Structure 1
Amino acid sequence: MKTLLWLCLPVALTGCAALSDARVEMDPPPVVQLPDLPQAQPRNGAIFNANTYRPLFEQHRARLVGDTLMISIVEKISASQSSTSEADRSGSLSGEISGLPGLDAAKVLGRASVGAKSGNKTTGKGSNQNSNEFTGTVTAIVQAVLPNGHLLITAEKQIGVNNNVDVLRFSGQVDPRAIGAGNVVDSTSVANVRIEQRGRGPAEGLHGIGWLSRFFLSLSPT
């Protein structure tokens, strides 16, 4: 009895194993190493400060660390793939014994013969389709400014309703020239985009497989 329990223990542990949780890597993407450019040292005075300077007639746009920038998320991606393969192979082999030394082959063997045929045919077909659409707006914060003036931005928005919390994360690299009126930039103009939208709460567990179902799936040969 103990031996049977020990044999069933690995199967039970396999069924209770948690499924891999697919997540978007939100770590900052590798930054292209640009050559260091000599920068003129600002001359700050009692009134003028280069860190907080804003031209009087300039429309407000993000350009310094800590500035905010509105991101208009408009992502629509679709992809399809199909493949078909077919292989057909056949072969045959035949032989006949007409005579033997010292024996009358007609009486001993009659017309003994041997033959074989083989054939193999394989056909395969597969297709895959994927479509994603995401729209929304989120305000990002400039985390760093590259030597060429590009902005590294990150954003996070959390909305809680009752026991459910929806989390939206966004990060990427923005060229200041792509920032439009109203300090808004489309997500299609952002490089190295990372977008993640997840929910936390009771509804999150409905998208997974229960431990008992995983147990029986682990026993399935397919």
Structure 2
Amino acid sequence: MRFSFLPLVSIFLLAGGCAQLPQSSLAGDPEWVEIPEPPPQRTNGAIFQPEAGYRPLFEDYRPRMSGDLLTVVFNEQVSASKSAEVNSDREGGATFTADTVPIGLEELAEYGLELSGSNNFEGGGGAEARNTFTGTLTVTVMEVLPNRNLRVRGEKQIRINQGTEFIRFSGIVDPREIDGANSVLSTQVAEARIEYVGDGYINEAQNMGWLQRLLLNLSPF
């Protein structure tokens, strides 16, 4: 009887490929804003050339058009806790004694019936989570919504030795929340998506191996 190792190898390769499933980006895929090129500058010898991208000297430089930049200040501090406790007690009892019995069964009157029982249950649980994220990231205005709100997105990549850290952010900003330093707090951004992930051997060391993941999924316990 010949035994083929091909099906077994195929199962292990399939399990290895499914061990670390790729996760989609929380902030969405990278986007680019297409800014139309200005018309060619006229060589008329004048200093004032509006075709070269004129902006008034005393104009408010807060972002209001697609392609403008905005600095997001991260100050995320989230804390949550939950606790629960349950106590339950129950007791019961029953007694039976025969006062009158038929003739010939008088001896049964000496035997009585007595039942008792009790039930006790105690349970408790608790959970606590704390997250802190601080820093800054400059994002780009991707779209100006009909109500003048700004849809922004930004990304920063930092390579350290053999690993790369990715910081991504997206959300909707109300222009009235932008301060004079052209920045806005992340807590004032609607639909905020903050992502801080990395790749490399350090990140791979934090993932479960494919064989261990396979055994964990097949284990009935």
TM range (shorter): 0.7 to 0.9
Pair 110,151 (structure 1): closer, same or farther in 2 beyond 3 Å:
same
TM-score (norm 1): 0.73
* Alpha-carbon offset, residue 118 of structure 1: 1.8
Q: Partner of 1:55: helix, strand, or coil?
A: coil
The amino acid that maps onto 1:91 is: G
What do the CA deviations read for 1:146-190 (whole angstroms, capped 9, x no partner)?
122110000111112232111111011111111112211111221
Does residue 1:61 correspond to 2:62, yes or no? yes
In structure 2, the partner of 1:155 is 154
* Alpha-carbon offset, residue 204 of structure 1: 1.1
- 1:124-139 aligned at under 5 Å gives the runs 124-139=123-138
In structure 2, the partner of 1:85 is 86
Identity of aligned residues (%): 38
For structure 2, the residue ranges without an aligned partner over 5 or more in a row are 1-11, 30-41, 43-48
Does residue 1:210 correspond to 2:204, yes or no? no
* 8 A contact 1:75–1:133 mirrored in 2: yes
* 8 A contact 1:24–1:195 mirrored in 2: no
What is the number of residues matched between the two proteins? Answer: 196
In structure 1, the partner of 2:186 is 187
Q: Tell me how far apart the structure 1 counterparts of residues 119 and 93 of structure 2 sit (CA, whole Å).
A: 12
Q: Tell me how far apart the structure 2 counterparts of residues 136 and 176 of structure 1 sit (CA, whole Å).
A: 21
* 8 A contact 2:78–2:132 mirrored in 1: yes
* Alpha-carbon offset, residue 220 of structure 1: 5.8
* 8 A contact 2:97–2:109 mirrored in 1: no
Q: Tell me how far apart the structure 1 counterparts of residues 104 and 21 of structure 2 sit (CA, whole Å).
A: 75
Does residue 1:172 correspond to 2:159, yes or no? no
In structure 1, the partner of 2:96 is 95
In structure 2, the partner of 1:42 is none
* Alpha-carbon offset, residue 216 of structure 1: 5.3
* Alpha-carbon offset, residue 126 of structure 1: 1.0
In structure 2, the partner of 1:70 is 71
TM-score (norm 2): 0.74
In structure 1, the partner of 2:46 is none
* Alpha-carbon offset, residue 27 of structure 1: 4.5
In structure 1, the partner of 2:110 is 111
What do the CA deviations read for 1:11-52 (whole angstroms, capped 9, x no partner)?
x99x87637777763349xxxxxxxxxxxxxxxxx9767xx6
* 8 A contact 2:151–2:171 mirrored in 1: yes
Q: Tell me how far apart the structure 1 counterparts of residues 75 and 122 of structure 2 sit (CA, whole Å).
A: 41
